[in-house]
Structure 1
């Protein structure tokens, strides 16, 4: 009874964690979009007031709290995406921490840089000194480029490691004469497609940010919505099955391969 109760608690905890992974990015994306809507609507309202500051000034001089809160949700969204990519890689590689050390360090470094970038943006908006504003603007471009590049590197590295591991297990299954190797193709397609979509939207935002292009806000909002779509890009019922297959498929396959190897050794 004790083991049965523990098993139920473990299953319930896992399902709760999976539900959080699914819902949290949508919440962050929604909050980011809502704050941008507040910013744009306020700018339009102020422009229509008699003697108002004008639409251009309202769009380029947003409140510091609005910038800080919106950027915080954006950074949190990227951090959760990086954590999910690392977690996928950790599960597929049989929970070997050595494999995900570099992506984890890149994610932690990116989170620290994200906090510095948010702080600099708030200081820039609150400061009245032109020198401080110019310095923080230069720091923002430099630090944010490094930060987003680390996220792209984490995404691509973990996806390549996952693909490599699945390919190796798939080859082992094929050599062992089992039919399970065909079951891994949909997983590889989903992971690669989601990684490409995530990296493409983030790289577009980085390029526009470096060039200080006015369209960077469109790219930022698109990427914020894409994060929640690319993390687990299936239906709600398939999401749990995909995670379970990623965590358990390698273990089941190794048991089959080892048992066949042991029987062959016994025969000879």
Structure 2
């Protein structure tokens, strides 16, 4: 529908190749942020292993996905022994099963790391992430169910009993992303609103909290809009769904890498050399406090001449001087 599936397959190879190149660059930026500090390797206890493992897994899945697309194009358009053409392909073909598996795994990891980020930002409150976790698990169940049906029977991706499961996966993944991103933005915005009156920004126009909100909205919006486009194309059976689905596999990794890289770069550029010098020279020094305490059990005797009282006060003061 729309345009031939052969054309969609060729365009998919081009689009995913471009997206994979962007993903590759953002991946190295992410690795440098996670593993390096001032040009040197970070100490092992300071490495964020959750983000490191997530980045490696998502990039591996994205690389395997484009390898599957290249292999599929070679079989269809180069290999003379291949009898199955794109118009007769179904989900039971090995490349279709691999592509659906990559899509499910990538959305599963991407949504999981987003929920974890929301959990950390909300001070590890389990009640906050109950709904995103439910939609995340439901989406994973729908994706696995659709994969099992597709790998054991011969159906086109947008027809047959697997369509409701894949449609549910797309909707639930979009809901999970939108909900988690909204919770993150709301939490940061609340902190920013309450703390704005108490701090002074040394560099005008560079607010780290406002930038964090903007980065979260951009990444969450890109992912959610991509999922909505996939939902429309998949529901209508348009062949452009092939292009969008493969691009999303790369987009998930790109958004994750850029969030880490942009936040780290912001930490480095937020403090200018002058502000660093000001921070170093404005370190509070030691303060010395001298206290004189007068302790007397009996009231000093007063004399008309004042000699006796003066000597009593001076002796008591000498005994109780804390300075």
Q: Match for residue 187 of structure 2?
A: 165
User: Is residue 205 of structure 1 aligned with residue 230 of structure 2?
Assistant: yes
Q: Match for residue 178 of structure 1?
A: 199
C-alpha contact 1:68 1:119 (8 A) present in aligned 2: no
After TM superposition, the score normalised by the length of structure 1 is 0.74
User: Is residue 222 of structure 1 aligned with residue 247 of structure 2?
Assistant: yes
Displacement of 1:138 in angstroms is 2.8
Q: Are residues 148 and 240 of structure 1, via their aligned partners in 2, closer, same or farther at CA, if it must alter by over 3 Å? A: farther
Between the two structures, name the one with larger relative contact order (CA 8 Å, sep ≥ 6).
Answer: 2
Structure 1 unaligned regions, length at least 5: 1-7, 126-132, 243-268
Q: Match for residue 255 of structure 1?
A: none
C-alpha contact 1:29 1:74 (8 A) present in aligned 2: no
Please identify which structure carries the higher helix content: 1
| Corresponding residue SS for 2:238 | coil
Structure 2 residue aligned with 1:31, among 56, 60, 64?
64
User: Is residue 44 of structure 1 aligned with residue 72 of structure 2?
Assistant: no
- Distance in 2 between residues matched to 1:160 and 1:145, nearest whole Å: 23
Displacement of 1:56 in angstroms is 4.1
C-alpha contact 1:31 1:70 (8 A) present in aligned 2: no
- Distance in 2 between residues matched to 1:135 and 1:64, nearest whole Å: 11
User: Is residue 96 of structure 1 aligned with residue 125 of structure 2?
Assistant: yes
Structure 2 unaligned regions, length at least 5: 1-42, 268-323
- Distance in 1 between residues matched to 2:105 and 2:156, nearest whole Å: 26
User: Is residue 76 of structure 1 aligned with residue 105 of structure 2?
Assistant: yes
Displacement of 1:55 in angstroms is 3.5
After TM superposition, the score normalised by the length of structure 2 is 0.62
Q: Are residues 200 and 120 of structure 1, via their aligned partners in 2, closer, same or farther at CA, if it must alter by over 3 Å? A: same
- Distance in 2 between residues matched to 1:33 and 1:66, nearest whole Å: 11
- The number of equivalent residue pairs is 221
- Distance in 2 between residues matched to 1:144 and 1:56, nearest whole Å: 21
Q: Are residues 135 and 208 of structure 1, via their aligned partners in 2, closer, same or farther at CA, if it must alter by over 3 Å? A: closer
Higher radius of gyration, 1 or 2: 2
